[in-house]
Amino acid sequence: MDYEGNRHKAFSRRLVLLGGGKLTLATLLMGRMYYLQVLESDQYQMLAEENRINMRLLAPPRGRVLDRFGKELATNRQNYRVLLIPEQTNGVPDTLDRLSRLIPINEHQRRRVLREVERKRPFVPVNVAENLTWEQFAQINVLLPDLPGVQPDVGEGRHYPTGAETAHIVGYVSSVSEADLTGDPLLELPGFRIGKNGIEKVYDRMLRGKAGNSRVEVNAYGRVIRELARQDGQPGDDVVLTVDTRLQQAISRRLSDDSASAVVLDIHSGEILAMVSAPAYDPNAFNLGMSVKAWKALVQHQRTPLINKAIAGQYPPGSTFKMVVALAALEAGIASPARRVYCNGMMELGDTKFHCWRHRYGGHGWVDMKQAIAQSCDIYFYDMARRIGVDWIGKMARRFGFGEALGIELLGEQDGLVPSRDWKLAVTGVPWQLGETLITGIGQAYLLATPLQLAVMTARLANGGLAVTPRISRRLDAAAEKSEPPASIGVSTANLNLITDAMVEVVNGPRGTAAKYKLDRDLGVRMAGKTGTAQVRRISKAERKAGGKLDKATPWRERDHALFTAFAPAEAPRYAVTVVVEHGGSSTYAAKITKDIMTEVIRTDPLARSALGRDGRALPAAEES
């Protein structure tokens, strides 16, 4: 009896313990469920919603690049493309075979598509081809029932209506590389393109705009079920340039057969009305996709089409530099306008002979400063350089914009070089020689300048000695519009007038070196300018006896550079034009081109026509600057 009672009590205790444990467990479970479903319900609801709803970025339309009259230089146009959804096809290779009968699909594209199909989920679209013609796009749409898995699509692509004619200014866009990634999620969007050169690069953030977004519902596998909401992005801002496309195109056509550059500048505001570098390249090729062969052809081209020679080409300025030497002598009080030097075609310094370009004809005879510039007498400027020294020449050169970048809103601008005694000793370890001073006096030796610097020099000469700086985009804010006018470079007005009068004589005087290239009478204005020839190698004695000119059999790279810089109208200067022809031979060749360009400038007179303000509206001519 006692045994049965003890057994019953033990069973009852175990039952109570088990029941208590279950009750405790149930209480803990209910408490946890209450915590999760009530206290933390908002958080888990949000997590579930985030798992169900995806936020996707939408690329905004890129801003346009416009010229001063509102003509589009870079814009967006419809990009007809075809996508492929692998899970909806009867086999990707078979679908690609069908598509290849309608549009070109090369082996490289085919391999790329197959790699992407392997890498991505079967419901994710793969880009097969883009930038299709309307006829190709329409044909695919018509035959769509026979192309399972094929999805025609219309996006936006960058387009450059003026192509190569403005390539070095506008630049181009291309795909984002790993080096371009900055954390901006826009840059990680498939197919997104950013500026890689020119204005497209410099003002990329302004042109890029702000991304939009799309809220889409997805299933557990990430497949899009439907779009719940959509907010389009904010388009990028337009960038308005100072360039006149009509003038730019005319100059591009004129230089099409040369390796050359030309700059047209408003001498008062510094606005660049045209900047051409030839040969050029088609920026649309970078957006559409360039083959390795085409890229190598551009890179290896001996006339360097990828380089903007107007700002990155560095050349000895030759005789176009003689105005700076003359001003250095005048301002230093070492020479007067009336001082005359006798030129017999040659000057001796020690055992070295320095020749004038006219040495075969016995030189120029007696010349004063004005005639020395008009006839480009080397002996006169050898004498001037020897008297004033290279350091004085260098100081004056820097006042006119040589020796440092001018800050144009483009990439790749070079400084040029204004040599000095200290510079040579630091770089070469060899002291400066007096003969090098003489050569510097005619714009040779170590001296280097860009075509843009020569145009700025000409503008500062013609505008009365104001330190105008070049710019290629319209002012974008009120602060810029209220900026102070250019300061004076500190050169006497009387001395400047003497030099510009001599430049008038270069073109319009009976013995001027560019007398054959004065403007036609029907224009009603005169042009002033200065010729320049820059040697790229030393002339041998035999060549000097033959006149110092290289014949047509001379390799292209061994021929002299041809330069000419000018302003007009001579009586009331407004435009400066500089032309540099690489290995063009004679400076008169550059003078002929400059005459044609200046004729176009005077006839079209871009500064007299209305231009666009910052808001894109037309401004009267009086407000352009």
**Topology annotation, domain 245-623:** Beta-lactamase (3.40.710)
d(CA 57, CA 49): 18
Phi, psi of 551 (to 5 degrees): -85, 180
Q: What is the CA radius of gyration of the chain?
A: 36
Average pLDDT taken over every residue of the chain: 86
The pLDDT, as a whole number, for residue 621 is 47
The pLDDT, as a whole number, for residue 59 is 76
The residues facing 466 across adjacent strands are 488
The pLDDT, as a whole number, for residue 217 is 61
> What confidence tens digit (pLDDT) does each residue in 448-476 have?
999 999 999 999 999 999 999 999 998 65
Report, as an integer, the average pLDDT of 530-534. 94
Percentage of the chain surpassing pLDDT 70?
84
Chain-centroid distance, C-alpha 462 = 27
624 pLDDT above the threshold of 50: no
313 pLDDT above the threshold of 80: yes
Give start-end residues of each CATH 3.40.710.10 domain in the chain.
245-623
CA-based end-to-end distance of the chain: 121
* Residues noted as catalytic: 319
Burial 166-205 (b: 16+ CB within 10 A, else e): bbbbbbbbbebeeeeeeeeebeeeeebbbbbbbbbbbbbe
- CA torsion angle 9 13 14 19 (round to 10): 140
Q: Are 318 and 581 in contact (CB under 8 A)?
A: no
| Burial environment of residue 308 by CB neighbours within 10 A (0 to 12, 13 to 18, 19 or more) | buried
Residue 612 DSSP class: E
The residues facing 277 across adjacent strands are 261
> What confidence tens digit (pLDDT) does each residue in 212-259 have?
766 656 555 445 556 566 677 788 999 999 999 999 999 999 999 999
Per this entry, what is the length of the chain?
A: 625
In this structure, what token pair is assigned to residue 283?
């920026």
d(CA 98, CA 137): 14
Residue 113 CB neighbour total at 10 angstroms: 22
Whether the link from the prior residue into 510 is cis, omega within 30° of 0, is: no
d(CA 32, CA 25): 10
77 pLDDT above the threshold of 80: yes
Q: Are 431 and 374 in contact (CB under 8 A)?
A: no
Give 3-state DSSP helix, strand, coil % of the chain, rounded to 5.
45, 20, 35
Report, as an integer, the average pLDDT of 115-143. 82
pLDDT classification of 185: cutoffs 50, 70, 90: confident
Report, as an integer, the average pLDDT of 362-379. 96
pTM (two decimals): 0.83
Q: Are 316 and 441 in contact (CB under 8 A)?
A: no
The pLDDT, as a whole number, for residue 505 is 97
| DSSP secondary structure of 214-265 | EEEEE-TT--EEEEEEEEPPBPPPPEEBS--HHHHHHHHHHTTTSSEEEEEE
Residue 621 CB neighbour total at 10 angstroms: 13
The residues facing 231 across adjacent strands are 213
What architecture (CATH level 2) is domain 56-240? Alpha-Beta Complex (3.90)
The residues facing 449 across adjacent strands are 315
In this structure, what token pair is assigned to residue 490?
């500190």
The pLDDT, as a whole number, for residue 219 is 55
| Burial environment of residue 465 by CB neighbours within 10 A (0 to 12, 13 to 18, 19 or more) | buried
Whether the link from the prior residue into 161 is cis, omega within 30° of 0, is: no
Residues 6+ apart with CB under 8 A from 596: 254
- CA torsion angle 140 145 150 154 (round to 10): 50
